Structure 1
Amino acid sequence: MLISNGDMEKRPVRLLSKEYKKVKKLYESAFPAYERLPYLPLVLLATRKNTHFDAYYDGDTFCGFTYSVMSKEAVYILFLAVNDVHRGKGYGSAILEDFKERAGQRALVLTIEPLESDAKNYDERLKRLTFYERNGFKATPYTYHEGKEYYTVLATHDHLDEKELETLFKRAICYMVPVKLTK
């Protein structure tokens, strides 16, 4: 399936698919262990209705992947990663444009590490926030708590139903770890 810019194709990540190993390698390098969920269950859970695990290609070139869960009100992008060698070429923005088209009137929602000036990767966090803001996301008043970790919630819409959002977050990780949303 070609995405909006006509140059990229998305392919579902499934057990034993050609994409399985490529995506796993990027998943493990792009996200620290404490932020990752077990890979095999993610792949298996992606067979659920409204759950999507997709690899993105530009021709034969593997560019990145996303893992998302959709509800009537929102699309939660749990993981989005662009291959290091292809960053800065517009692939991340093209992927987000594809999500905007598929979401229709629904809000796009994602979480990022909070901007803390003493964080070792502060510059990376700032760059990530700037990228998402350039692509239409804004910080919400919500903080997402997953186990001992917490994240800033970004969304494309101003008004989100807190209960709906928390349910979507829990469903996305299949209740594998405790999740809470706070203001």
Structure 2
Amino acid sequence: MTLKNILIDRETDAACIYLKNRWVICLIYFQSHCMIDRYGCYSIFHYRIRTGKIFIYGGYHMKLINCSTAAQFSNLEHLYIESFPKAERKPFSLMVQKSREGVMELLAIEEESGTFLGLAITILYKDLVLLDYFAISPTMRGQNIGTHALRLLQERYVGKRFVLEIEDTEEEAPNREERIRRKAFYLRNNMTVMPYYVKLFGVKMQVLTNGPELSFEEYHAIYQKSFSEKISSDITLFG
């Protein structure tokens, strides 16, 4: 692909790229190291400008799939166990059961070809959606897949309050820098921190949402109405 195949409007950061015998309109932004990143509803393309040519060096047409096959459940369970400490995990069989009841969604993040990229596990209650677990496969990290997957999730649940929890970033911890990066990631993606902390299975957490302010009572009701008292009683207001 040569530069004659791309038309760029510097004022609006819009571009037309000639692909497959037609012009495709997309939005882009420029970075100092001559990279152009295009974020669309279903894909991320990366282009590098070098000696008058643009090389496509990576791209994913991504989708969210509600797990239904043994292979999909297996991929999810493997990444789930690999990504989250035992103290923070619910029994996987319980989540499968809750998904069949319509209380949870076990979503595989996949490329259009079916390649498994990550997982998103959500709890549904009234107008609330709690992103209970979210992880990208280790071999796929560092490619902006997490950012794009989060946007797909927000689009999937448009009209609902999207809620998630993150570990406290103020206390000293071996992974404090990772916690800070994770919080910054969510803040960049339209999430807002609520003015309280919760104790979630013994871990101090912050609650974030992309909608109107969420009270602790509303947040706690997600667990109370979705799980047994044994689980919901382990979630309290911190302090």
- Give yes or no for TM over 0.5: yes
- Matched residue, 2:9: none
Q: For residue 180 of structure 1, what is the aligned residue in structure 2? A: 236
Offset at residue 128 of structure 1 (A):
0.8
CA contact (8 A) 2:194 2:208 kept: yes
Q: Which amino acid aligns with 1:53?
A: L
1:112 matches 2:170: no
Matches within 5 A, 1:51-90: 51-58=104-111, 59-90=113-144
Report the CA distance shift for 1:32/1:52 in structure 2 as closer, same or farther (over 3 A). Answer: same
Q: Which residue of 2 aligns with 1:159?
A: 213
Deviation at residue 27 of structure 1 after TM alignment: 0.4
Shift of 1:101: 1.6
Give how far 1:62 is off. 0.7
Q: Which residue in 2 is equivalent to 1:22?
A: 75
The structure 1 residue matched to 2:100, chosen from 47, 60, 70, is 47
User: Which stretches in structure 1 are left out of the alignment for 5+ residues?
Assistant: none
C-alpha distance in 2 between matches for 1:173 and 1:112: 20
Distance 1:99 1:169 in 2: 20
Distance 2:110 2:201 in 1: 33
Q: Conserved in 2, the CA contact under 8 Å of 1:78 and 1:172?
A: no
Q: Give, as a single letter, the amino acid of the residue that structure 1 aligns with 2:85.
A: P
Letter in 2 for 1:29: E
Instruction: Report the Cα offset of residue 172 of structure 1.
Output: 4.5
Structure with bigger RCO (C-alpha 8 Å, 6+ apart) = 1
Q: TM-score normalised to the size of structure 2? A: 0.68
How many residues were matched structurally?
180
Amino acid at match of 1:39: F
Residue by residue over 1:40-90, the C-alpha shift from the partner in whole angstroms, topping out at 9 and shown as x without a partner, is: 111111112252111111123211011112233321100111111111222
> Highest CA radius of gyration, 1 or 2?
2
Map 1:144-155; keep pairs closer than 5 Å: 144-155=198-209
TM-superposed deviation, 1:8: 1.3
Q: Which amino acid aligns with 1:55?
A: A
Q: CA deviation at 1:158?
A: 4.1
> Displacement, 1:142?
2.5
Deviation string for 1:95-130 (max 9, x for gaps)?
211222222232211001111342011111111111
AA aligned to 1:47 is: R
Q: Is the 8 A contact 1:111 1:153 kept in 2?
A: yes
Q: For 1:175 and 1:44, how far apart are their aligned partners in 2?
A: 17
Q: How does 1:121-136 map to 2 (within 5 A)?
A: 121-136=175-190
Q: Write the distance in 1 (CA, Å) between the matches of 2:65 and 2:160.
A: 23
Question: In 2, Cα distance between the equivalents of 1:63 and 1:141?
Answer: 33
Kindly indicate whether the alpha-carbon contact (under 8 Å) linking 2:42 and 2:63 is maintained by their aligned counterparts in 1: no
The equivalent position to 2:151 in structure 1, one of 82, 90, 97, is 97
Q: 1:150 to 1:117 in 2, by over 3 A?
A: closer
Give the fraction of aligned pairs with identical amino acids, expressed as a percent.
24
Q: Provide closer, same or farther for how the CA distance between residues 31 and 20 of structure 1 changes in structure 2, counting only shifts above 3 A.
A: same
* Structure 2 gap segments, 5+ residues each: 1-39, 44-60
